[in-house]
Structure 1
Amino acid sequence: MSNPRSTKLHIAMFPWFAFGHITPYLHLSNKLTERGHRVSFLLPKGAQAKVEHLILYPNLIHFYPLLVPSVDRLPPGAETASDVPLPLRGHLCVAFDQTQDQVQTILSTLKPDFIFFDFSPWMPALAHQIGSKAICYSIVTPATQALKVPTKEKPEDMTVEDFMQPPPGYPPSCVRIKSKDHEIAQLKVFAKALGTEMSLYVRITYGLIWSDALAYRTYHEFEGPYCDYLKQHYAKPVLLTGPVLPKAPATKLDEKWTNWLCNFKQGTVVYCAFGSQNKLQKDQFQELLLGFELCGQPFLVALSTPDGCATIEEAFPEGFEERVKGRGWVYGGWVPQTLILEHPSVGCSVTHCGYGSMWESLFSDCQIVCVPYLGDQIVGARLMVEELKVAVEVEREDNGWISKESLSKAIVSVMDEDSEIAGLVKYNHAKLKEELTSEGMQERYLDTFIQNLQGLMD
């Protein structure tokens, strides 16, 4: 096998137009260019300025900005999922597909060795036409895709009922969807036809079927059975990059955070963030804040301003600010999550289980409380809570509502030192973290990943 640092590859990246997809593709691009490979990155024109600062090797990563066409019902100037309310995301898919001619022009000129994609089912045919290999690089947990392999001849014939049962041959596992209104509603969103009359499920599944290989940002030690199942089901290579998280910034945590966190004893602060995409309704936002108040621990909560509110402060429950003064901080902007999770005072991470946040929590020493919203987050939570037993999940009512009591109960269950569940998840988490952070593991995975790509070219 050739040395992973010898044959230099040229890889094109074409992720879905959402920062939750663009950013992990950039993290992988940095790791590839660190080894001397070349990356051509296609993304919406307006998104480039927002992510350029993440690039570590600008001489080897070249951006190709795309003009996102204006499509009926899309807000003017909308380019990424952040610009579009959830019910209109299907129209962004239409605009995404309408960039195909621009994408084809760029890639036909570049002729890269590989094209990494996730939401463009037309990419494999385009790649093969110009002599490139198409790699479906998913930013979600393999367990999610293993649970939803098509059991009917055509993916478009799959129904929500089909997703309620694990498919034949699925690994013996606790990871599954529960028959709750909230989880079924998430499946319906996934299976519902979008503006292109192609559901998100069909769009992703054809990408998996027609690609030359599947790639995931995980370790075999973490999700091996699901990776093996996908390899067997789709009868093609499954390549793993490892989680490819960026190195923690060399900078120290800003004084405003440090000064506040230092007021509390080691491991007592509860930190919560749900990612930039999750905008809560005002009543649910208020109920969550009351849950943090009720748990009795100091807390730092970083959430987006709820729907219909101009500022985060105007959404606070009545009297909340005065009651939690000095022990609770609710912040509506971006926070340096990795550095906060490393702070000695922080002892608990309340997370939406977005895949990147999930890994950051696993690599920390914090207790983990899961509050998943979207389909892949629900599966990620099941993996951590029921399969690996390294976290607890907040109990929801059938309609998806989270009460202040259920949030408080979950936090207390992992923060109370005398609690049996706290001891169990802490022990399992520490054991798993030790395995996942063993020296050189991420680098070995990347070297093997590149060797496997080179093998596909033979």
Structure 2
Amino acid sequence: MDRTRDQVEKIIRDQKPDFVMYDMACWIPEVAKPLGIKTIKYSVVSAAAIAIVLVPARNVVKGKPMSEAELSLPPTGYPSASVVLRGHEARSLLFVSQPFGEGVTFYERSCIGMNGCDAIAIRTCHEIEGKLCDYIGSQYGKPVFLTGPVLPESARVPLEDRWAQWLDGFEAGSVVFCSFGSQRVLEKEQLQELVLGFESTGLPFLVALKPPVGSSTIEEALPEGFEERVKGRGVVWGGWVQQLEILDHPSIGCFVNTCGFGSMWESLMSDCQIVLVPHLGDQILNTRLMAEELKVAVEVERDEKGWFTKENLSNAIKSAMDEESEVGSMIKKNHNEWRNILGSKGFMSSCIDKFFQNMQRLVDH
């Protein structure tokens, strides 16, 4: 992106927009401000991920990488006791001290971008991450504009016949659906532990995963005899699936995912019980927001390497799916309340309307 600076500057000079939104191109304010153009730093990750890592309160010394021990502690003034990292989990955020472009680290690039902008924008809402957004605003002395979740109101295309017909064969709310997204690739051993965990629940399941490291297909990586044992009640699919449309199917009763920011919102808007298996730093923080603060999900217990056992996964799913248990009933009640808030008539549009109003005030100022 940095190598496009000259071309981007020419476009901005020629087009003369009212404002420019950017993510990692931290030099945009240097280009836009001399032309009287407002700038907005837009984040596609959660406010939690920004607030705990990418703030001046970290007091990072240039040329001195942050340590795992430093990252495991929240910055001064951080407003949440539950949306935090636990010990070894900070390891997945060490990349913020690594170079991200020429002569600048990921942390520096992010902070420069937020220091230089006229406003910070985040794809979230005040109801969910309000105190974290307020903290970010106070750290940078900038207004923070929120777009809301920005999700479609309902599935827009029919579910593929293959999955619609298969799911139609099960009772309402009985099937466990698992999707780890397009980026997560498991080790073969972990994939086998995952599918054995689903098998041991005794519940019907649909798992969509990329083939593990070293395997060309998902089938060749499955445990011996697994497909025969789960025939008729379990499918492990190695390709892409329509996640939103599957979540909308009445047979789906539980959604197991890594809690990437997109899946976090899709989970909240679904009618499913939620089980979370985070892998990377922002996913872990999103998971803490969901499981510890909002109390709408169950987090799968993992070891210091971030790995889980089939027993951990099975227990988490059964705990969530037992709606008569204390945990199952609690997360269902809380989830219903949040889904009703987020899905209430006019909520999404009011978030966008307010976002546009804030942008207009920024231009007029």
Alignment TM class, shorter chain as reference? over 0.9
1:235-284 deviation per Cα after TM superposition (whole angstroms, max 9, x unaligned): 11100111111343433222211110011111110001111111112221
The separation in 2 between residues aligned to 1:419 and 1:407, in whole angstroms, is 17
Residues 1:333 and 2:239 are matched in the alignment: yes
In the TM superposition, residue 194 of structure 1 has moved relative to its aligned partner by 4.0
> Could you tell me which residue of structure 2 aligns to residue 41 of structure 1?
none
Q: Give the structure 2 partner of residue 159 of structure 1.
A: 66
Q: Tell me which of 2, 16, 22 is aligned to 1:111.
A: 16
230, 234, 238: which one aligns with 2:140: 234
Q: Deviations over 1:66-111 (max 9, x none)?
A: xxxxxxxxxxxxxxxxxxxxxxxxxxxxxx3222223223232222
Residues 210-359 of structure 1 mapped to structure 2, 5 A cutoff: 210-359=116-265
Q: State which of 68, 76, 79 in structure 2 corresponds to 1:168.
A: 76
Higher RCO (Cα < 8 Å, 6 or more apart): 2
* Number of the residue aligned with 1:360: 266
* Cα 1:266–1:186 shift into 2, 3 Å: same
| C-alpha displacement of 1:186 | 0.3
Change (3 A) 1:268 1:286: same
| Matches of 1:195 and 1:121, distance apart in 2 | 11
| Residues 1:259 and 1:152: Cα distance change in structure 2 (over 3 Å) | closer
The correspondence for 1:177, drawn from 45, 67, 85, is 85
Which one-letter code corresponds to 2:240 in the other structure? W
Counterpart in the other structure of 2:363? 457
* Residues 309, 102 of structure 1: alpha-carbon distance in 2 compared, 3 angstrom cutoff: farther
Instruction: Kindly state the Cα deviation for residue 150 of structure 1 after the two structures are TM-superposed.
Output: 2.5
Question: Deviation string for 1:11-64 (max 9, x for gaps)?
Answer: xxxxxxxxxxxxxxxxxxxxxxxxxxxxxxxxxxxxxxxxxxxxxxxxxxxxxx
What CA RMSD, in Å, does the superposition of the two structures yield over aligned residues?
1.7
8 A Cα contact 1:349 1:369, kept in partner: yes
Task: Determine if contact 2:58/2:75 at 8 Å carries over to the other structure.
Answer: no
1:131-142 aligned at under 5 Å gives the runs 131-142=36-47
In the other structure, the counterpart of 2:48 is 143
Segments of 5+ residues of structure 1 without an aligned counterpart are: 1-95
Q: What is the one-letter code of the residue matched to 2:75?
A: P
Aligned-partner Cα distance in 2 for 1:192–1:371: 26
Rounded Cα–Cα distance in structure 2 between residues aligned with 1:222 and 1:394: 22
Q: Structure 1 405/197 Cα, relative in aligned 2: closer, same or farther at 3 Å?
A: farther
Q: What is the CA distance between 1:438 and its match in structure 2?
A: 1.3
Question: In structure 1, what is the equivalent of residue 343 of structure 2?
Answer: 437
Query: How many residues end up aligned between the 2 structures?
Result: 361
Contact residue 142 and residue 226 of structure 1 kept, 8 A: yes
Q: How far did 1:154 drift?
A: 5.0
Runs of 4+ in 1 over 4 A off after TM superposition: 152-155
Equivalent residues of 2:319, 2:328 under 8 A apart:
yes
SS in structure 1 of the partner of residue 351 of structure 2: helix
| Cα gap change, 1:434 to 1:152, in 2 (>3 Å) | closer
Aligned partners of 1:155 and 1:205 also within 8 Å: no
Q: Is 1:371 paired with 2:254? A: no
Residue of structure 2 in register with 1:192 after alignment: 98
User: Deviation at 1:340?
Assistant: 0.8
Query: Whole-Å Cα distance in 1 between the matches of residues 110 and 346 of structure 2?
Result: 32
Which stretch shows the higher mean deviation, 406-415 or 113-122? Answer: 113-122
The CA distance in 2 between the partners of 1:307 and 1:108, in whole Å, is 47
Distance 1:358 1:128, change over 3 A: same
State the partner residue of 1:21: none
Counterpart amino acid of residue 100 in structure 1: R
Cα separation, partners in 2 of 1:121 and 1:256, compared to 1, 3 Å: same
Please give the alpha-carbon distance, in whole angstroms, between the structure 2 residues aligned to 1:197 and 1:374. 25
Q: Is residue 2:7 matched to residue 1:102?
A: yes
The 3-state SS of whatever aligns with 2:173 is coil
Cα deviation, residue 349, structure 1:
0.5
